[in-house]
Amino acid sequence: MRDYQSLVHTTWDCKYHIVFIPKRRKKVIFGMIRKHLGKVFHELAAQKNCQIVEGHLMPDHVHMCISIPPKYSVFYVVGYIKGKSAISIARRFTGKSRNFTDGYFVSTVGLDEEMVREYIQHQEKEDEHYDQL
């Protein structure tokens, strides 16, 4: 049986596969920034009653499978996470507050959650394979 969540008058299971990239697709997500962002993304998601089910930070993009309550739009949550994490990076590392592009990719997970989670987990190996070709 699926793990449904509840609000006062709603039972729901809304999960999305989201991908977004740094400005000019620069390979800037590594080392201390990578460790910092992982924690920050989870904290920001929790502030909006969201949960990152699976996530992976690549040097030039971010993959996450996130559960978002129906009271929030995907646009709002992604914008919140990207904006607040960019401010956090600026304060701690670079001084620039615009780290991510405005756009993002989103797809509903639906009944294929396990397949999406597996894809996110193995994304780095796939990229290494294509780089070798």
Q: What is the dihedral of CA 131, 30, 23, 115, to 10 degrees?
A: 60
For the question of residue 104 being annotated catalytic, the response is: no
The C-alpha angle with vertex 93 and arms to 88 and 97, in degrees rounded to 5, equals 50
Residue from 16, 80, 104, 119 carrying the catalytic annotation: 119
- Which sequence positions are flagged as catalytic? 119
